[in-house]
Structure 1
Amino acid sequence: MRNRFAFQSWYFLFWLVFFVAAKAIFLGYHTAKTAALAWSTVRGIFGYGLQLDASTAAYLCIIPFLLLLGGNLAGSRFPTDRLIRFYTAVMGVVVSVLTVADLELYRAWGFRLDTTPLQYLDSPAEMVASAGSAPLGLLGGIFGGLLVLGWVLYTKIVGRLPTLPAGFGRARAALVSLLLLALLVVPLRGGLQQIPINQSDVYFSSQPFANHAAVNVPWNVLNSLLLKNSGPNPYHFMPDSTAQRLVKQLYAAPATANLSNYNILRTPRPNVLFIILESFTAKFVGSTGGEQGVTPNLDSLARTGVLFTNVYASGDRSQKGLVALLSGYPNQPTGSIIKVPRKTEKLPHLARSFKQAGYRSAYYYGGELAFANMKSYLVAAGYDQLTERADFAPQDQNSKWGAHDHVLFNRILTDLSQKKPPGQPFFLTAFTLSSHEPFEIPIPKKFPGTSETALFRNSIYYTDWALGRFLRQASRQPWWENTLVVLVADHGHPLPDNSANESPAKFHIPLVLAGGALRPEARGRTITAFGAQTDVATTLLTQLGLPSNDYTWGRDLLRPGGNSFAFYNFNDGFGMLSPAGAVTYDHVARRVISRDAGVPDAQVRQGQAYQQVSFEDYLRK
């Protein structure tokens, strides 16, 4: 006979088994795609997918566990069993509807069910058209089968709620129920790790279908409901044709340009070492007008490389900077496209562009790639190798984020010394983290003080120290003479000086090109044209003579002439900079926040047009 206190565990198991069965039905429905997978990949779908399945099961358990808690306090008069059965029946129908709808929508659209169908509620004709070719009889049969399966599983696994054991008081029973309720926190967030669970945790394969199949549909729908930016476009300032014309003018190539000394590389296919520096605000970089002495190594590289003095981050978070830098794609005023894997899968990516040119690729990060859904984005990009926190020894990590920067760079040097095949060029992306809060560093402080600004300043100094140490060792390697180094920040920072959220100073970042692959005559050049992170990919690919047509939101910052501007997003607003000055705009208030004296009305309109067109593009991904 089952114990009343095992009921909650059995109830959780019921939902878990149901979701595993639903996953099997999804794979069976898409037989052709499933047949193309190796058995190990199919096993991975269930193994990795179990994390989101458990999280969803935990969410569905909250109300029944609360009902059981109330029933234990109220006694036999409280209809606990009937209420739990009613709730389970309702949720079983809802989950079954979502599961069946997802089967056909995935076939038609290529992504798992989310809130996208809600966009068609005001267009029933489109909804009917979308379902016109669906095998309604088969789907109806699957729906009925899911309901029967749910009833059988509930009967066999959960069954009737047992009564309280004789002599076991209500208070003690309620305490047990409360403890089991509290334990749901673990599967809810996907475990005890620092970063709560997201789609990245189930993205494990280079085959998109396998990653999609591992996702739990109810979880995906709920997650999508909690995310904004589903449409319609709230940033509509002018007719679409006008906005598109203004944006096209911004990206118009100069009719004539002096292209002497345009190519800065002395080799056609250099290795590319793309280093993204966490929070490296220009306010701490002497070569970009910031404090002197904080980044001596970066400043030295700026004097012997190519320095861009007016580059701005496209957003204010790491995940936004990654997409802007590696895909040349603009940010959104709220949220980030990286949270929506089905959209990021449609973006171009430098790793993919270089792979098509015969490069091998690797991504190094000392932290957890699951953070902010980065892993799904990187897996879809097709990197040959991903290195993250779990690949480093615990003693080499700080207390919060992961491996210290000098440890990360040491790992890169070791791996590059063993690179295979030796003649193949590499595209290597490295993302530092030590200059992120809480600013813990493994070397003595350079600057005095215990304020947050002082800690931040010292962390920037440490990362610069680790960078200099790494590049000095790299310069003695045989691959160095054929290597281009790209140094750029993921975003800026309010510190020092506590820049306002929308302030251009907060978004001003360094960009330096260095390395043995530079032409001697290119060394020491300074580019003063305004640009954004979205321009870096286009600039890099153009220098290598590789196609950049897919990077439609980027400009070549090394090409003389053309428009000089930078656009960035902060939460519910944008900034637009040009040689005339800067303007910032608040989307909620629908007004300009700040505007330099020389900024014309046309620049405000250009910023509005850029926001309108770029967000419309996001919605259509």
Structure 2
Amino acid sequence: MSAIKTIKAPVFSSWFCLGPYRYLIRTAVLGLVLLSLSRLALVLWQYDRVEQTGLLWQVLLQGVRADIIMMGLLLLVPVLLIPLASVRAMGNLWFQFSYLWCLGALVLLVFMELASPAFILQYDVRPNRLFVEYLKYPKEVLSTLWFGFRLSLVLGIIATVTLAWLIRRVFLLGQCSLKQWSAVKTMGMWALAVLLLLAGIRSTTDHRPANPAIFAITADAMVNSLVLNSAYSVLYAIYNLKHEAHSSEIYGRLPTEQMLKLSLDWPWLKTYQFSNPDYPTVHWQQATVKRAKPLNLVIVLQESMGATFVQSLGGEAVTPELDKLKQQGLWFENLYATGTRSVRGIEAVVAGFPPTPAQSTVKLSNSQQHFTTLASILKAQGYHTQFIYGGEAHFDNMRSFFTGNGMQQIVDQSQMANPVFTGSWGVSDEDLFNTAHQQLTALHQQNQPFFSLIFTSSNHEPFEFPDGRITLHEAPKYTVNNAVKYADWAMGQFFRQAQQSDYWQDTVFLIVADHDNRVYGDSLIPVDKFHIPGLILGPGIQAEKLQMLASQIDLAPTLLSMIGVSSCHTMTGRDFTLDKTSPGRALLQFGDYFALMQGDKLVILKPDGKSVEATYRFRQQKLSISGRAVSQADKNTALALVQLPSYLYREQKNASTALCSPSLPVN
């Protein structure tokens, strides 16, 4: 049966039968209607957030503009090929092609819109680059969807198939003859169609065509994403992948010399000499803690454990083990993650590398070798370096990044025999920590100094963990609070073992989160969801609460001093053993927004090159846009800090092999 067999409905003939445009026009109309209805449904679902902006009608009307751009992009290829329809031998083939193309385009739109609610629940934004990145890991994604979103997945598939069938029925309406238009008529209409299509895609008469930044009309990032449609959001993210090295230029651009000067103009960096012209951030860091023998280093990177969990919830502590441990070491009261992804946390904690609007350097091609990390620094000092992970180490490109940048050993799920529990994301945290304890014990017995990065995964949707370990915080079992409590329990078990082991006296430990669990809120940047716990403990480390504002990129330089390792490196974070008095700062990357936070003041850079000043009230955990114009000096400082990592990556100036001369801190 022909794919374009029609249903007799003469009443539709005049509207539906427009020569070579029959399926294109139907697609344009159906697409615009479907996208508008989807946006309306999402707006009603999130009405409280939308209503607070006072821009309901702008959200809906600007959304139509975004939808026109998307439909123009989808129809561009078939419209450009319309002249083929006037060729007698190509007529039937053209109609078959345009039918299949248009049907596929509408099914894609439907699928993306149906996938949006679950994605918004998880990330508080429409599908974006993360949606594409996760497609590389079908096993983990499908397991998470099946165990954590089974009902949504099944209903989404049913709805997609049903709507695809209905769209096909609409396509076949009308008695349409395959008789060709004349070549003159076809080409005349084609020129007009191309002109209208390109105008719709460009959507502006400004110097640059429209992009998602134009639709950022509110101070709520989630509401801004509702203005778009999900297909456009994902498509633009894919397009931007080729601009990773220059990603920070969406905020503006400073001359390189000015950018470097501002980036290094911080009190804690003034004691260092930056004298290598080929590697402008390379310097000699003299360890402030003198040790007869440098200590081992263990970093416990906790998956999705935001600071909000390190408090009492409903009268019962969710992290009782961490609450005990934080009385024994250096506790960071105001530590902030640089982003909202695990790879962003890895980049900051292990490499001391600031964030950019691009993907994390863990996943970028130019940083897979010769990139400064704690592993590369300590390997050069004779340490055995290892990454221990309960899942599959290839996830998020971790194996490639680590092995190319100093990690000598990767221990993942495949090497953990007889686990007590295996879930969607690998073995349980207790299996992970049991393996880690065995590894550390063996290395210490060999008198081998070591650096071990232990990355947990039990606190990850769908929140699977073994029974009988904890008293559940709430019912049902598989909730984030219960998963956090289990992860905390497993970590507590590990530290009880570690404190009784021989390696304890020779090791400094860091416990830190990669990011919070779900980043959401009605602010341009949800600052409270960047707040994470951080604790350094070990022999000789006194209990202390550090009140100063701190960033994840400050941890690596601080740890190097605490273990007694002096080294040459390119990291620009703050060594808190050297400077505990200067006001701190945090760098926050949230989607396409970048913020420099100093005290309660934030300078937020937007992807349209504009900036806003905001105030963060810590007690209320509320961000308020001040309405004051950002000074050029403040904007330049923020711009320098986000431009620096892009420059270092693009020019490959973050090399672990860069040399510098030992020098003592300036008094």
1:591 is displaced (CA, Å) by 3.3
Q: How far apart are the structure 2 equivalents of 1:291 and 1:272?
A: 35
Q: Pick from 509, 512, 515 the counterpart of residue 535 of structure 2.
A: 512
The answer as to 2:542 corresponding to 1:523 is yes
Aligned to 1:236: 252
The answer as to 2:609 corresponding to 1:585 is no
Query: Unpaired segments of 5 or more residues in structure 2?
Result: 1-91, 94-134, 143-237, 273-286, 617-623, 653-667
Aligned to 2:164: none
Aligned to 2:294: 269
- Structure 1 counterpart of 2:246, one-letter code: G
Q: Pick from 526, 547, 556 the counterpart of residue 575 of structure 2.
A: 556
Aligned to 1:377: 401
Q: How far apart are the structure 2 equivalents of 1:251 and 1:368?
A: 41
Aligned to 2:100: none
CA pair 286-190 structure 1, distance change in 2 beyond 3 A: closer
CA pair 408-608 structure 1, distance change in 2 beyond 3 A: same
Q: How far apart are the structure 2 equivalents of 1:450 and 1:227?
A: 45
Contact 2:328 2:537 in 1 (8 A): yes
Give me the identity figure in percent.
28
Q: How far apart are the structure 2 equivalents of 1:438 and 1:190?
A: 19
Q: Structure 1, residues 451-488: CA drift from partner, whole Å, max 9, x if none?
A: 89x81111111111111111101111111111111111
Contact 1:585 1:594 in 2 (8 A): no
Contact 1:366 1:432 in 2 (8 A): yes
Aligned to 1:337: 361
Q: How far apart are the structure 1 equivalents of 2:395 and 2:524?
A: 23
- TM-score for both structures, normalised by structure 2: 0.54
Aligned to 1:314: 338
Q: Pick from 460, 466, 474 the counterpart of residue 490 of structure 2.
A: 466
- Structure 1 counterpart of 2:601, one-letter code: G
User: Residue 307 of structure 1 aligns to a residue in which SS?
Assistant: strand
Aligned to 2:317: 293
Matches within 5 A, 1:401-550: 401-419=425-443, 422-444=446-468, 446-450=471-475, 455-494=479-518, 498=521, 502-515=525-538, 517=539, 519=540, 522-550=541-569
Matches within 5 A, 1:186-265: 193-194=139-140, 226-231=241-246, 233-250=249-266, 252-253=268-269
Contact 1:326 1:349 in 2 (8 A): yes
Q: Structure 1, residues 196-245: CA drift from partner, whole Å, max 9, x if none?
A: 9xxxxxxxxxxxxxxxxxxxxxxxxxx99854414373332444443333
Q: How far apart are the structure 1 equivalents of 2:138 and 2:636?
A: 48
Contact 1:504 1:575 in 2 (8 A): no
Aligned to 2:657: none
Q: How far apart are the structure 2 equivalents of 1:254 and 1:591?
A: 28
Q: How far apart are the structure 1 equivalents of 2:522 and 2:482?
A: 19
User: Residue 409 of structure 1 aligns to a residue in which SS?
Assistant: helix
1:403 is displaced (CA, Å) by 0.8
CA pair 439-583 structure 1, distance change in 2 beyond 3 A: farther
User: Residue 527 of structure 1 aligns to a residue in which SS?
Assistant: strand
Q: How far apart are the structure 1 equivalents of 2:316 and 2:416?
A: 33
Contact 1:500 1:506 in 2 (8 A): no
User: Residue 383 of structure 1 aligns to a residue in which SS?
Assistant: coil
1:588 is displaced (CA, Å) by 3.9
Contact 2:251 2:605 in 1 (8 A): no
Q: How far apart are the structure 1 equivalents of 2:420 and 2:613?
A: 45
Q: How far apart are the structure 2 equivalents of 1:301 and 1:503?
A: 28
Aligned to 2:187: none
Q: How far apart are the structure 2 equivalents of 1:606 and 1:559?
A: 23
Query: CA RMSD of the aligned region, Å?
Result: 3.7
1:421 is displaced (CA, Å) by 5.7
Aligned to 1:219: none
User: Residue 275 of structure 1 aligns to a residue in which SS?
Assistant: strand
- Structure 2 counterpart of 1:281, one-letter code: G
Contact 2:473 2:481 in 1 (8 A): no
Query: Unpaired segments of 5 or more residues in structure 1?
Result: 1-77, 80-188, 197-222, 257-261
CA pair 471-605 structure 1, distance change in 2 beyond 3 A: same
User: Residue 367 of structure 1 aligns to a residue in which SS?
Assistant: coil
Q: How far apart are the structure 2 equivalents of 1:592 and 1:338?
A: 30
Report the more deviating stretch, 545-554 or 398-407.
545-554
1:276 is displaced (CA, Å) by 0.5
Q: Structure 1, residues 395-426: CA drift from partner, whole Å, max 9, x if none?
A: 64443100100111111122333337622221
Report the more deviating stretch, 239-248 or 269-278.
239-248
Aligned to 2:645: 614
- Structure 1 counterpart of 2:510, one-letter code: V
Q: How far apart are the structure 1 equivalents of 2:354 and 2:137?
A: 33
Contact 1:364 1:408 in 2 (8 A): yes
- TM-score for both structures, normalised by structure 1: 0.58
1:373 is displaced (CA, Å) by 0.9
